[in-house]
Amino acid sequence: MSTAYKRLGYAAWVLLICGFAALYALHLQADFPNHSPWYRDWAKYTDEGWYSNAATRAHLFGQWYLRGDFNPAAAVPLLPALEWLLFFVTGVSVGAARGLAVGLFFCSLLLSYLLLRVRGPAWVALLAVTLLVTSPFLYSFSRLALLEPVLTALMLAALNLAVRLPHMRRPAWGAVFIGLLYTLMLLTKTTAVFLLPALGWAIWLPLRKRRTDALRRLLTVLATSGITFAAWMALLTAKGLLVDYRYLIFINTYPKPSGMLWPAVSLWWSLHGTLWADHILEPLAAVVTVAALAAWRTRWGRGLLLDPVFGAAVLTVCGYLMFMTYQDHPQPRYFALVFVFSALVIALGAGALVSAAGETARAGWAVLAIASTAAVVNGAWTVSYAAHPEYTYVTAARELVRYIDEHPNGRRLLVSISGDEIALMAHLPTLCDDFSTPVPGIPDLPAKIAYYQPGWYAAWNDLDPGTLADLHSHFTLEQVARFHALDDPDRNVLVLFKLHPLAPGMARGQNDANLRVPLPGDKIDIPIE
């Protein structure tokens, strides 16, 4: 093929990628795609609001911290800090927060390309980017203001520096910057701890023949990250916010099954969970990895295993799967980072196989054909999502706030598990009923609602008996409105209640079992279960 035709082909390929990327930036206030395979993921109801609440509160209500409520910014401050800066330009809106996530996804596409171009040809890098940008899974989750897009971009940036350390004029400074990036990863999502082996491998492998230099760079990264992260923890301690950090760890610690074999069962569930991301590409990435390990004596296998990018990508996937195994609570959104690095594994594997000879090259072309077919199918799926946006959630949030404003009831303050999401969408002050950081004087939800005296409560479809008992300790409930939103049959109706304070001196003990049922003065038409 002539150079001119080759350049034309690459230009058309890049334009196709840009076209798919542009779809991510459209309809940013639309729902998470309704009736998708991931419709039960709670992130679309809550997580955007939770991890944005510091920025939302700071701009709308003058303070980022709400004593006794859920304040995750103490532990994971980077995303809310970026949103806080962004909101000075855009104002507070869910579209702006999601636009930031999409911008970070675009950075990840560029960083993925640059990472694979360190040792590979352009077509391998473009194949990886194509698999990413056509993915309906990434389209769904990378357009939410979650922690995963930030963590993915930072990891890719750190790996780009790591594999280039041997060629830097001042590698010591490069290692310092990697350490700073790793601290930012820890301040984005605490699960970054499980990504350290991948980062260490990417630093060590290119320098393995110069062990003193490799050890020096690793120690520089660890020292830089250790010092800067310790400084953040010291600041939290000085400001009395360590309890909020510990609380985030506490609520993300799930009970482990009984029996000695639970890690194996949990690992199987985590591995099976990769199919959430893609039924074709995730198994293909596993096959490529196993084949490379089995063929480590061959030229193509050894070359692939000694590629620091390939090893780092595999270790990133394995590290995150180990986190989900330990946690024993995998969720679809966790696999967004896993899928990005699985795509890199596939592209690098295809490149190594195709460049070999004989049957090995044919296997490479088979991998390439399977990946290309998946990209076509996924691309059509993604286009379908982009072409049919729905706005049920943002509409429900705004109608709920309009109802509250038209029917005053004490304080204009809402209690809801999705309260922070509603605040981001419709600028209403809210409290979370699911999480309450225990602080002196406010040890739990009943104490929190007694302290803040909200006027409203909102639930999805039904009432939790425990939450009802907590509310009954100070209020009676009057169901006043329903707003349909999203697609989960268990959570597709947002139900609004007025909270009517009990007479002075009539506060009840929230552990009383009879508070878990409707009481005289209540008006509740939805199930309690």
Task: With a cut of 70, say whether residue 60 has pLDDT above it.
Answer: yes
Task: With a cut of 70, say whether residue 225 has pLDDT above it.
Answer: yes
Q: What is the pTM of this model?
A: 0.95
Q: pLDDT-derived band of residue 3, with 50, 70 and 90 as boundaries?
A: confident
Model confidence pLDDT, tens digit, residues 306-323: 999 999 999 999 999 999
Supply the pLDDT for residue 513.
61
Cα end-to-end span (Å), the chain: 67
Supply the pLDDT for residue 72.
97
Supply the pLDDT for residue 255.
83
Average pLDDT, the chain: 95
* Percent of the chain topping pLDDT 90: 90
Residue entry with tokens 């279960």:
529
* Most trustworthy range by pLDDT among 4-13, 231-240, 356-365: 231-240
- Structure tokens that stand for 188 in this block: 């984005």
Model confidence pLDDT, tens digit, residues 62-101: 999 999 999 999 999 999 999 999 999 999 999 999 999 9
Average confidence (pLDDT) over 466-475:
94
Give dist(CA 279, CA 457) in Å, integer: 40
Task: With a cut of 80, say whether residue 504 has pLDDT above it.
Answer: no
Instruction: Give the long-range contacts of residues 518-526, CB within 8 A, separation 24 or more.
Output: 519/472, 519/476, 521/476, 522/476, 522/477, 522/478, 523/477, 523/478, 523/479, 524/463, 524/477, 524/479, 524/497, 525/479, 526/459, 526/461, 526/462, 526/463, 526/479, 526/493, 526/495
Supply the pLDDT for residue 357.
83
433 DSSP 8-state letter: S
Supply the pLDDT for residue 254.
84
Task: With a cut of 90, say whether residue 479 has pLDDT above it.
Answer: yes
Average confidence (pLDDT) over 475-480:
97
Contact residues for 238 (Cβ-Cβ < 8 A; gap 6+): none
Q: Whose CA is closest to 145, among 24, 56, 47? A: 47
Supply the pLDDT for residue 66.
97
For the purposes of burial, counting CB atoms within 10 Å of the CB of 5, is it exposed (0-12), middle (13-18) or buried (19 or more)? exposed
Q: pLDDT-derived band of residue 1, with 50, 70 and 90 as boundaries?
A: low
Supply the pLDDT for residue 353.
96
Supply the pLDDT for residue 261.
85
Average confidence (pLDDT) over 347-364:
94
Model confidence pLDDT, tens digit, residues 415-455: 999 999 999 999 999 999 999 999 999 999 999 999 999 99
Task: With a cut of 80, say whether residue 104 has pLDDT above it.
Answer: yes
Average confidence (pLDDT) over 409-413:
95
Q: pLDDT-derived band of residue 38, with 50, 70 and 90 as boundaries?
A: very high
3-class DSSP state for residue 93? coil
List the domain boundaries for the chain.
Answer: 27-387, 392-516
- Structure tokens that stand for 308 in this block: 């620091």
Supply the pLDDT for residue 260.
83
Q: pLDDT-derived band of residue 253, with 50, 70 and 90 as boundaries?
A: confident
Task: With a cut of 60, say whether residue 510 has pLDDT above it.
Answer: no
3-class DSSP state for residue 416? strand
Supply the pLDDT for residue 506.
67
Model confidence pLDDT, tens digit, residues 114-159: 999 998 999 999 999 999 999 999 999 999 999 999 999 999 999 9
3-class DSSP state for residue 476? strand
Give dist(CA 354, CA 365) in Å, integer: 6
Contact (CB, 8 A) for 427 and 470: no
Residue entry with tokens 């076509």:
376
Q: pLDDT-derived band of residue 258, with 50, 70 and 90 as boundaries?
A: confident
